[in-house]
Chain A
Amino acid sequence: MKIWLLSDYDHRKHLAFKSMLARYSAAFPDAGAEFSVKSRRSMWESLFAHLRDPKRNPLADIIEIPQNWTELFSRLGLFADLALKVEALERRRFPGFILTELCRHDEARAFSAPWWLEAPALFARPRALEGVCAEPWAELASWEGFRAALDRLPGGNKKRGIRALAAPNSSGAVCPADVLPRVWGRRGGLFSDDFNRATFTREETAGGIEDWLELAVSGKIELFSPDRFENGPMPVEQCAFVISSRRLPRQCRPGAAARGRAGQRGAKAGPGRRSPGELKVLPYPGCSAGGGLALVYNLAVSASTEDLSGAAAFVGWALEPENLGPFTGSFGVFPCVKAAFEECLQDEGEEETYRKIFSAPELMPNIMAYPTAELLLERALWNLSLKIARRDYDREDLTRELIMAQGEADYLLSLY
């Protein structure tokens, strides 16, 4: 059995999956399983390559996908219906907000199984905000407040490796995953609510994209930064703000310092004491009342697999809370299965904030044209990133790129 996994900037995901697979092989010695890790682009190309020439480009039996690829590839006949094959796919086992986009047109069918999810949030280091924000948690609830706080922070000290803002999942250029949470925060989107037209240029959408680009233009985030390449990943405790969809490492969670000191060195610990590395999680700026974007990743089984039962059995096994929990925990994401999700929230130091974040999250629409629209946006953002990096960017460039992307997305909607 072959499995294709999406690559992740956090390499621990690949290692966690490797050990998960080792556990599966130990439990089911007859089920030989191997996996390979593909970038999002390569996964997309491999799925289309299979459609073009199935014999030369066979699919893996199990494929990890962003949840909103499900409609497209199931309609193209690539994925098997798992509704009756995977017991764990029983609908009440998933939080309601995940089910809304599982299968838009047919509740009885499920062409992929929700596996893990993440939600972009703002992480703030209280120590760094002392003297910068009078009421940090109220100010940071809005994008404007966050932006103003960022401006008031002393500039980063590159020599000491300290930054005002870090976005650890950046791949160098601005990408849709960076801008879409802000677009959602402004109640924008790539398509109108009835999915009849593209809305890239709508004020809420373009404004959301512009908000993020402005961070790059003003130098708050560095595009194509060689930092990680030359110095390795920046420890999150060296940043005043981190925008990330991953949960904090334990040592950065509130109270960890007190726990650490009390436990390790027997020092006096109290709730008022904070370590310099301690970070507090807040809802994504502008989404303090919930309604932000959540990113969900699913497992799909190839319709052309020779071992549908075996593949479905693996998916069922991977969704069991005792298998899913350790996997998602190892790289800071949440499991999609309700029981494990609840357990994860309770285990989280900032349960209350996460409950707020997950009170009414929205998923990217699972419609046929959406993944392509994301590619069109990605292309536009790439062009703009290059311009920003060359200091050649103008607001008109954004308008022009979005008009072009919208035109193509509209044309696509007329076809599919």
Chain B
Amino acid sequence: MKKTAEKLYGAAAGQAFDGGRDAFLQAALQAVSARFVLDGASFYEFDEKNGLLRLRLRQASGVAFEHEDNIRPSPGSAAERALESMQTAAASSPGGKFLYFPFMFDTSDPSGGKNAVTCTGLIRLERSPRRRRFSASEAAKADAFLRSFLRDYYKVEFFSLTRKYDKNVSAITELTEVFATALRVRDSFRRILAGIQTYFGFDRVRLYLIDEKNHKLKGELSADIRGQIKSISYEEIPLEAGAHRFADIVLGRSSGAFMERYKDCVLYMPLAVQGVTIGLLIVDNLLSQQRIEPQELAMLKSFGGQIALAVDNARLFEKVEELSLYDELTKLPLRRYFNQRFQEEFYRAERFKQPLALLWADVDHFKEVNDTYGHQIGDVALKEVGRIILGNLRKIDFPCRYGGDEIVILLPQATGAEALRLAQRLSEELSELRIPVPFSKTRELKVSLSIGVSTFPQDASTLETMLEKADDALYWVKSHGRGKIALYSDVAEDAKKTAAGGTNDAGQK
């Protein structure tokens, strides 16, 4: 059999199996054109639903090309006869001499079904009007030739399925690893989206997560077809029925009408962990308008649980990290975290000869507040102080709840004067704060801070001395009436003057 086939159409077909369906059919048209000295050969698929012959490929004057044309064969025409009888039919018209070869072969179901789908159509062999018509013996030979060629079509399908299988195996192996190892939120979301794009290559993938506290669906990240990832945190959707179709999907209230319309090029995949929806993954091919292969959809859906788990794990990890590094009450970093950052900033300031300032603040009479109004009111006071501090800092500043009511703020690249300005701003904003205390006589509580400031390199040359000097400045404020701000260099100057018998004027209010 192999010898017969080779004799019929040579080695060209053998090379075309791996190139996909079009390459194989192109090879068939080339081979038949050469063998029967044709002026043209065309490959038409039959669209049975609409009764149309749809031109896909042509070979003419030594040029092979793809082309599209849609024709409804005339009733009783040779083309229609060939399709109906599945027998080769010849025809002659002012346009030329034609031989219609009907074919039928099985392909894998493009919609993902398990059964093979039959593809029918015609290959038209063409000669110009001036040339001879196809004889009966030529028609028989051409029929045998093409039948023999197309008999090997299954090999193209085999190669194609093997490639798909390989791709799926790689996707399963590598994506599972990505989902299992993703830990930190930003990083893991990026890796998940990048992983999906590497293996599926959608026009776009978007990840939205539910913000339970604010009752919103919040945009996280979007990855485009090139794998470029950007934040979509500006997208916030109220989690209410009817507010947005994404909200409806997450809430399980979608009518499904629009999902049905876009089902070929959009997949909305709610992410759920243990029955609780935590977000929504949306993939689409809207820009290219290309159909998402059903197998790809099925595979991505099968990853849904893992993706949801990976996203949830990353969020839990972040939560645990936050709890270990941040004070839950004031939302300020804890001392352990501060020490690490302080070392880094001090090293940077030393190396690049940049100024560094340190504020050490203490809530005035905090013990009395707790004792008089109770710890609940004390906690509110601390929470408010934390809020005001966080609202007044630059991105590079680093505050910390150092312990109890003591708060330290690291100000990279800030001089003493700049640190004093910040301290002043904090004091002013705090002075306007009133904490309601319904059961007290005054019905409200005022809060003030005593603040000591030290600077590098003026006041200290080491990390420890910097802390020490800021504490000294704070001590000076506390011993001089509280609610003030003092810069260590002024305190030191004042101490010298006092020792020399002068007046003290270091504190600022």
Contacts and interface: CB of A to CB of B under 8 A. Distances in A.
Interface of A: 5, 7, 9, 11, 14-15, 18, 36-42, 44-45, 48, 51-53, 72, 76-77, 161, 171-173, 224-226, 228-233, 369, 372, 375-376, 379, 386, 389, 404, 408, 411-412, 415-416
Given A37-B64, A39-B66, 6 more contacts: A42-B66, A51-B226, A228-B71, A369-B287, A372-B289, A375-B289
A7 B286 CA distance: 25
A164 B129 CA distance: 25
A224 B71 contact: yes
A53 B286 CA distance: 18
Given A51-B225, A226-B77, A231 B95 contact: yes
A37 B53 CA distance: 21
B505 to A, nearest CB: 62
B68 interface: yes
Nearest to B44: A229
A179 B67 CA distance: 20
Nearest to B265: A408
Contacts of B288: 44-45, 48, 372
Nearest to B198: A53
Contacts of B226: 51, 76-77
A37 B95 contact: no
Given A172-B69, A172-B71, A411-B286, A232 B63 contact: no
A136 B34 CA distance: 50
Interface of B: 22, 50, 52-53, 58, 60-74, 77, 79, 91, 93-96, 129, 201, 203-204, 224-226, 261, 286-290
B225 A226 contact: no
Contacts, number: 117
A269 B459 CA distance: 108
Contacts of A9: 67, 69
B94 A225 contact: no
Contacts of A224: 52, 70-72
Contacts of B73: 226, 229-230
B66 A232 contact: no
Nearest to B49: A386
Contacts of A38: 65-66
A386 B50 contact: yes
B287 A412 contact: yes
A238 to B, nearest CB: 11
Nearest to B284: A415
A220 B22 CA distance: 35
A416 B225 CA distance: 13
Contacts of B72: 224-226, 389
B68 A231 contact: no
Contact of B63 (A15, A52, A389): A15
B77 A230 contact: yes
Contacts of B79: 226, 229-230
B63 A37 contact: yes
A9 B61 CA distance: 14
A7 B65 CA distance: 7
A412 B204 CA distance: 12
A412 B72 CA distance: 34
Given A77-B226, A231-B94, A48 B286 contact: no
